[in-house]
Structure formats: C-alpha cells, structure tokens
Amino acid sequence: MKLFRLFLLAFVFHLAAFAQDGQQQFASLGDFKLESGEAIRDCRLGYRTFGQLNSDKSNVILFPTWFTGTTAQLVELVGPGKIVDSSKYYVILVDALGDGISTSPSNSQAQPRMKFPKFGIRDMVVSQHQLLAQVLHIDHLKAVMGISMGGMQTFQWIVSYPDFADKAIPIVGSPRLAPFDLMLWKAENDAIMGDPAWKNGDYTEQPALTLLTVLREGGKMQYKRQQKQSKKFHGRELYAMTVARQQ
C-alpha cells in the first residue's frame, strides 16, 4: 500500500510538471537596478519553461525574445524536431524587458510610459541572469541563444558572463547595429513621435501604427539593396551617407 502511495504521489508531481510546461510565469526582481543607476520599480520578468531539468542541471538552454516579440511567439520553435528540442533540453524562454509582457513602459503601474527609465541590452541580460541565479537557482547554461535582438542579447551574455554558458548561438543578430538598422529604427522613432496621437508620451492609443507597418514592409524591400551597398562601403561611411541624404 505504501509503495502504491509513493507511485501515486510521483505520478501527481509528473502531471503537475507537465501541466506547467510552457505556461506563462513571472519572476519578481523587486526594484531592478539599471546600468544607468536608475531602477525599474517592482520589476517582473516573464518566462516559460519546457522539458525536464536533469539531475546535474547541465541541459539548460536560455532563449530570450526578439525586438517586439514575446515568449508566446517563441513557443512554436520549441519541441522535438524544432529549433530547440525540449525532449533533450530544459528550455527557458524569457520575455525581454520592455516587450509588453515583462515590466515595460506600457504596463508599469509605478513608472508608466515616459516615466519609465531608459534601459539597454546589458540590462536585459542582467535581469535574465538574476532570474536564473536567484529565482530558478541555475548557475550554468548549456547554451544561450536568440534571434535578431535575441541574438544581440546572446552576444552580450558572452561579454557580461563569459563563463556562464558552454555555447552561444546568435541567429541573425549582431554585436553592432548596421547602418540599415540605425536608419530604420530612427525612422520608426520619428514616425511615432511625429504623430499627434503621441502626445509627448501620454498617449491613449497606439501612435503611428499604420505608418510603422509601412516602414517595416519597406524595410524588408530595401534590405537586399542595403546589403549590396554594405559590401562596397564601410559601415561608418554608409551611415554618414545616409545622414547626409536626410539633411
């Protein structure tokens, strides 16, 4: 009878673990101090886990989100036969700071919109390190990986915590923004701040949403042309040309 109870208890724990696989979870980091010296108050970091953590915790892969992305969008990339095999690895998807799921200007009660402090890629990585070390009690990674801005975070992981992961897998990411990126992001910022709906950051509706869609679609069309130009000119020279044309 005792053996049966133990078996039943183990089965219940297994079901609970399975039920939580991939569910949205949040870790409280308190007042999270930024590189600038400011702090994000009541900071929460969103994350999801897949797979089983092995006994020596050596099968962990960290996968942060791309720019404007959420872990809900990364879910389809996780599983047997996909980019990350959760039958072999314990996969942790992380909503990067500012993505609208983790604490962001759009959802912060303490520091809404323009009251939110400025933060960068390094701050995102430090918050993820705190999630691993302080909340999940993981002190080493099999790999850290990411796509686009997730790739940028991957590069920053190498710099900030060079011995924390065995492998780094940046996908279409760069340690330095290309002139094309700078030009596109500046155009997006100008479109948002030039829209009357912006109201100096005290907006009640999404500003420049239609124009941003047009810019991004146009950006895709221009990307191949820019790649050809990048082969002919050094990045700084190309950026200088871009700025000169805007003046």
Question: pTM of this prediction?
Answer: 0.79
Residue in the structure block whose two tokens are 């799921």: 101
- Categorize the per-residue pLDDT at 29 as very low, low, confident or very high, splitting at 50, 70 and 90: very high
Largest CA distance in the chain: 82
pLDDT, one tens digit per residue, over 113-136 is: 999 999 999 999 999 999 999 999
Query: 165 - beta bridge partners?
Result: 141
Neighbours of 181 (CB within 10 A): 16
Q: Is the pLDDT of residue 152 over 70?
A: yes
Q: Are strands 39-50 and 25-33 parallel, antiparallel or unpaired?
A: antiparallel
Q: Would you state the pLDDT for residue 110? A: 95
Q: Would you state the pLDDT for residue 243? A: 44
Domain boundaries, the chain: 23-171, 179-246
Q: Where are the beta strands (DSSP E) in 20-113?
A: 25-33, 39-50, 60-64, 90-94
Average pLDDT over residues 186-201: 87
Q: What percent of the chain has pLDDT over 90?
A: 60
Torsion from C-alpha of 226, 210, 96, 63, nearest 10 degrees:
-60
Q: Would you state the pLDDT for residue 19? A: 40
Torsion from C-alpha of 159, 162, 164, 168, nearest 10 degrees:
70
Q: Would you state the pLDDT for residue 20? A: 67
3-state DSSP call for residue 28? strand
- Categorize the per-residue pLDDT at 183 as very low, low, confident or very high, splitting at 50, 70 and 90: confident
Average pLDDT over residues 65-71: 94
Angstrom distance (rounded) from CA 245 to CA 61 = 44
Superfamily the domain 23-171 falls into: Alpha/Beta hydrolase fold, catalytic domain (3.40.50.1820)
Average pLDDT over residues 187-191: 84
Region for residue 35 given its phi and psi (left: phi exceeds 0; alpha: psi -120 to 50; beta: otherwise): alpha
pLDDT, one tens digit per residue, over 156-170 is: 999 999 999 999 999
Q: Would you state the pLDDT for residue 17? A: 43
Of all helices (H) and strands (E), which one includes residue 141?
A: strand 141-147
Helix intervals (H) in the chain: 2-20, 71-74, 121-130, 149-160, 179-194, 209-232, 235-246
